[in-house]
Amino acid sequence: MINRLFRNRFKYRRNEKILQKRNGVALIMALTSLMFMVYIASEVTKDSAVEFIVNSKEMTRLKAYYAARNSMQIALLRVKLFQQASQLPLPEAYASQLDLIWKFPFAWPLPIASDLNSVDKETMENVTKESLMDATYTHSIEDEGSKIDLNDLASPSKTLREVTQKQILNIFEQKINSDDEFRNKYQNENFEDLVGRIYDWMSDSNTAVQGGDKRQAFSQLGQGYPPNRGFRTLEELRLVPGMNEDFYQLLAQRVTIYGMKAINPNSASKEVLLSLDPGMGEEAVAEAIARREDPDKGGPFKGKGDECLKDFKSFVESKGARLAPEFDKIPMICDKVFNFKITATGIYGSGAFALQKNIVAYVVDITKAAAQVKTFLDKEKQEENPQSPAPNPNPSPSPTPGPASSAPKQEPLPKGAPRVIYWTEY
């Protein structure tokens, strides 16, 4: 009996020790499992937060991008409307206001002027709220054709080549005469060599303008230079040997690679007009700009071809300009602008979380530019062979104009959006 009692008591104590050991293992396993669960939960939370931030940034980028695309489409529509309106037989008082179609600034949401009445303000606010576009965008349309076309240095027209070279040299000459710091730094610079290397970039010949193999000057750029083609972007001008940042910034405001093959005195900037001739004074240019913007002072310069040049020349000479005889060779056109630079910007978000996308496009009327070059080539052929018959700009016989067809017939515009020859996004 006693032995059995001891055995049972010993058995109970042994089982109690085993249970105590097992309880310790369970606690450790529970803590370990809890730690793993906390770790997994934290990692999942971190990954989810990263995914959310990445996806929200991507969504912001897409909204900003498509806001810029929408702004670009509206800008192209404005250019198309301007092209169509320019072909209408409008009175001169209305025709002079057509430039506002593309010059007028545009932004979304529509800016609310302070002088609007409460009803108009409420209407514009309601339109903005009902719109599905929750981003903001703006665009600007600039005249690109009234600058000096850099690619004309290698034009098939001798007139365009010579005039363009002289205009670019005038830019540097006037800068030296008007800027003491620039003169002290670059008065010994040979700008004719720099212009020659710009031509060598585009020339088909391996012989440089100044003589020798032109490839030696471009050897530091590696194989494929010079490319023997026209400039495709204005930034390529930085690669020309001898071109530094001062020269580039000076030219970038005055030159383009999408010109109209002529200078439009009705839209050219002050810097471009000054570069036409060393004797073109600032006072004469200021008077010309004031006239073209004020109908009471004469309004825009008028005329086709040489008539446009004569009108502009006679006016600036009456205001004190002393022009060289070579000024008569400068091609001028007083027609409407047909080459544009469009910069569209889309913004989504606000503050530090805002994202901006930009799109730049160039609209060029290649048909008119080619017709302008052909005009110079025909004129040069006529000067070389005075006895040859003058080219007829209208080879096909035109019907006798009646009362309803007294205005000259214009070629119809091509269907679709304006022709974009360069598009970049950043």
DSSP state string for 201-213: HH-SSSB-TTSSB
What are the start-end ranges of the H helices in 326-392? 366-384
Please list the pLDDT of the chain residue by residue as tens digits (426 residues). Answer: 556 655 555 555 555 555 555 566 777 787 888 888 888 888 888 888 888 777 888 888 999 999 999 999 999 999 999 988 888 887 776 766 788 889 888 888 877 776 777 777 778 778 777 777 888 999 999 888 888 999 999 888 888 888 899 999 999 998 998 899 999 999 899 999 999 999 999 988 888 888 888 888 898 888 889 999 989 889 999 999 999 999 999 999 889 999 888 888 888 888 889 888 888 888 999 999 999 888 888 888 888 778 888 999 999 999 998 998 888 888 888 877 888 999 999 999 887 778 999 999 999 988 888 888 888 888 878 877 776 655 554 444 444 444 444 444 566 777 888 889 899 999
Q: In whole angstroms, what is the distance from residue 42 CA to residue 36 CA? A: 10
pTM metric for this prediction:
0.78
Does the CA dihedral 247-249-250-256 come out positive or negative?
A: positive
**CA-based torsion, 52, 55, 59, 60: positive or negative:** positive
